[in-house]
Amino acid sequence: MIDTYVRHSPSSLNLFAAEPAMWVLERVLGIKQTVGAPAHRGVGVEDGVTAGLADLTAPLKACIDVALTKYDTLTAMSPDPRREKYRETIPDMVTAALVELREYGTPSGTQGFVEWKPDDIDLPIVGYYDYQWDKHGILADLKTTERMPSEIKVTHARQVALYATSDNIDARLIYVTPKKLEAYRLENIRDHRKALLNIAKTVEKFLSLSDDPKYFVSITMPDVDSFYWASPQARRLAYEYWGV
């Protein structure tokens, strides 16, 4: 098994299931892709919301300022042409999320570490939940997006299922767009955890095939029409390593 791959995460497992060649590029070859304005916006919004939940009396403007400062810091050197467009949506997103989540009170935990190590895999599956309210038995993950999904996305369901370590936990996905917010309750938690475990088993079988990173390049092939390979950098790497 490749020595640098020492633990699973929901994002890594979901990537393997969706686009194995990109997984090889990032997790085996160690070539991480740069993220754009949408991802940075998500981090900024989360920081602003966390500040507003830590102090329920904090003015919305102060929480929005926290979010904008974080976003500006992360995007200071970003060439993403969407930078200003996404920045403009941050105040409404922070406001909507705080209106929803402040109803739950101050969280008992934020960015809590979760590790799951079933006996039938060698490496643990780890992750960090966004917010938990022990008093209400609620665990929530905040997702920023341009378009509101009509239901929980499967990849997000797997992720939050990792965090719901008890059947008594009310696990929720909080989706916020520039214009609206929806809170979805996660059902079939055990099924989603099982799916995560099955992907982890497959990854470990895959990695057991060789200790040579080049071998995994030779048995995968990028789908260059996929959004995973949309950036110029990713397309260049697809050609460099796979010749496509």
Q: How far apart are CA 93 and CA 208, in angstroms?
A: 44
Select from 126, 144, 124, 149 the least CA-distant residue to 38: 144
SS3 call for 113: strand
DSSP 34: P
pLDDT at residue number 2: 77
Cα distances (angstroms) measured from residue 47 to each of 44, 51, 111, 212, 223:
5, 6, 11, 40, 34
Confidence (pLDDT) at 39: 95
* Nearest residue to 64 via CA among 93, 102, 30, 23: 93
pTM: 0.93
- Phi, psi dihedral angles at 215 (to 5 degrees): -60, -40
What residue segments make up the domains of the chain, in order of their start?
Answer: 1-33+107-244
Cα–Cα distance, 52 to 96 (Å, whole number) = 12
Task: Note down pLDDT in tens along the chain; length 244 residues.
Answer: 777 789 999 999 999 999 999 999 999 999 998 889 999 999 999 999 999 999 999 999 999 999 999 999 999 988 899 999 999 999 999 999 999 999 999 999 999 999 999 999 999 999 999 999 999 999 999 999 999 999 999 999 999 999 998 888 999 999 999 999 999 999 999 999 999 999 999 999 999 999 999 999 999 999 999 999 999 999 999 999 999 9
CA atoms of 33 and 55, how far apart (whole Å) = 35
CATH class assigned to 1-33+107-244: alpha beta
Sheet holding 138-144, edge to edge: 109-116, 125-133, 138-144, 170-176, 181-185
